[in-house]
Chains A and B, each alone.
Chain A
Amino acid sequence: SQTIHQWPATLVQPVGSPLSLECTVEGTSNPNLYWYRQAAGRGLQLLFYSVGIGQISSEVPQNLSASRPQDRQFILSSKKLLLSDSGFYLCAWSRFYEQYFGPGTRLTVT
């Protein structure tokens, strides 16, 4: 069966610090991978998605970036965090239509 991991589970970072969130998927190959942010009252916002190694599509212009160095690894990064980057970050994978989500990372920027 397939499993998706995210870490860390929670993170508190000061404004201006860098960020690296990691997501890995087990039990499947060549999945589509997604990064979402969920803010209170705003629903799920798609940030990036990837259909293959090195292939990244950005949905929202911002100070975040994503990379896919391996088939089942997806990384969300920032060089300098803003207060507005606080939120619940979710990674998801899909092979066909349904997307399956990881446990999420709660990021608080102080």
Chain B
Amino acid sequence: EDQVTQSPEALRLQEGESSSLNCSYTVSGLRGLFWYRQDPGKGPEFLFTLYSAGEEKEKERLKATLTKKESFLHITAPKPEDSATYLCAVRTRGGSEKLVFGKGTKLTVNP
């Protein structure tokens, strides 16, 4: 069964304190790994798609990387507005049109 595990469940950082979120996956053939940001009471907002090991994508203070077993979302010099829950999802060869989501990491950045 395809599985996605995100760690830590929650992370508190001081403004400017860089860190990384982890997404590890066990799937039968990866067809894409996706990162989303979700603010409280809102729908997830698409951030990145990664397709193959070694690939990296950047957007402002965020950089996503991918290996054969996991993905990292690096947050450089975070600001309070980066506080949100970050979700990871995978699309697999056997999953047709479906995404399998992790439970997310709740990030809080204190000023």
Q: How far is the CB of A41 from chain B (nearest CB, A)?
A: 7
Q: Within the complex, which residue of A51, A94, A101 is in contact with B45, where a contact is CB–CB below 8 Å?
A: A101
Q: How far is the CB of B35 from chain A (nearest CB, A)?
A: 10
Q: How far is the CB of B61 from chain A (nearest CB, A)?
A: 21
Q: For the complex, is A87 an interface residue (Cβ under 8 Å from B)?
A: no
Residues of A within 8 A of B99 (CB): 46, 99
- The CA of A49 and the CA of B46, in the complex, are separated in Å by 19
Q: Which of the listed residues B31, B36, B43, B49 has the most CB atoms from chain A within 10 Å of its own CB? A: B43
Q: How far is the CB of B56 from chain A (nearest CB, A)?
A: 17
Residues of B within 8 A of A103 (CB): 42-43
Contact between B87 and A44, CB atoms less than 8 A apart: yes
Task: Count A interface residues, CB 8 Å.
Answer: 21
Q: For the complex, is B25 an interface residue (Cβ under 8 Å from A)?
A: no
Chain A residue nearest to B43 (CB atoms) is: A101
Q: How far is the CB of A57 from chain B (nearest CB, A)?
A: 8
Contact between A101 and B44, CB atoms less than 8 A apart: yes
Given A97-B32, A98-B46: A32 in contact with B41 (beta carbons within 8 A)? no
Q: Within the complex, which residue of B31, B45, B101 is in contact with A44, where a contact is CB–CB below 8 Å?
A: B101
Residues of A within 8 A of B43 (CB): 90, 92, 101-104
Instruction: Give per-residue flags for A42-59: 1 if the beta carbon is below 8 A from chain B beta carbons, else 0.
Output: 111010010100000001
21 A-B pairs in the complex with CB atoms less than 8 angstroms apart: A43-B103, A44-B87, A44-B101, A46-B98, A49-B98, A97-B31, A97-B32, A97-B49, A98-B34, A98-B46, A99-B34, A99-B89, A99-B99, A101-B36, A101-B43, A101-B44, A101-B45, A101-B46, A102-B43, A104-B41, A104-B42
Residues on A lying within 8 angstroms of B by beta carbon are 32, 41-44, 46, 49, 51, 59, 90, 92, 94, 97-104, 106
